[in-house]
Amino acid sequence: MVKIALVSCGTEYSGIQKEIEKAANTFGAEIILPEIDLDYIDESYAKFGFSAQSSSLKLMIARAMAIVEGRCKPDAVFIASCFRCAEGALVRNAVRKFLQDNTRIPVVTYSFTERTKADELFIRMEALATTVTRRSILAREKQEGLTLG
């Protein structure tokens, strides 16, 4: 089963947590939440260097940091934040770039509303599950030197 780490802000509050889990289960994936303690949130937030006011966004940053530092070993990462939150959009993009620069884990981002249903998440969850399960087919070698032809 593919393990997808959920790095998000506001999914429980908006009520789409169950929709995310339903979409993941449809494609044989399991949603996991990187486990961290309270001290680690402040520590990782200070290391990350982005000033966020929301405690949920600080938790989102700490979960991303836990993945990079190897405290959690997911096969893929799903990053989500609320559509209306400008600060959430900035943190979502910063966390995506941070994960892509420091890991080789597939990452998908999504900006949700309170009305988001599992059907709307299917394409993204299918992309994550397929990328993980077919990684050997999708792999490319890094080209070095010149190419003729």
Tokens of 75: 């096969």
- Smallest Cα–Cα separation from 121: which of 8, 24, 4, 11? 24
Give yes or no for residue 9 having a pLDDT over 70.
yes
Closest CA to 80 of 2, 3, 5, 1: 5
CATH number at residue 134: 3.40.50.11900
Q: Is residue 93 part of a domain?
A: yes
- How confident is the model over 17-46, as pLDDT tens digits? 898 899 999 999 999 999 999 999 989 888
Which residue is listed with tokens 């169950």? 18
Asked, for residue 145, whether it belongs to a domain, the answer is no
CA distances from 138 to 96, 135, 143 (A): 21, 5, 15
Residue 63 lies in a domain: yes
pLDDT band at 7 (very low <50, low <70, confident <90, very high): very high
Instruction: Report the candidate in 43, 122, 114 with the shortest Cα–Cα distance to residue 85.
Output: 114
Domain assignment of residue 148, yes or no: no
Find the mean pLDDT for residues 92-121: 89
What is the number of structural domains in the chain? 1
- Whether residue 58 is contained in a domain is answered as yes
Instruction: Note down the domain range covering 73.
Output: 2-138
The whole-number pLDDT of residue 134 equals 83
Residue 147 lies in a domain: no
Band (138; pLDDT cuts 50, 70, 90):
low
Decide if 149 is inside a domain: no
pLDDT, average across residues 124-130 = 88
In this prediction, residue 149 has a pLDDT band, given cuts at 50, 70 and 90, of low
Residue 140 pLDDT level (bands cut at 50, 70, 90): low
pLDDT at 76: 94
Instruction: For residue 71, tell me if it sits in a domain.
Output: yes
Whether the CB-CB separation of 92 and 78 falls below 8 Å is answered with no
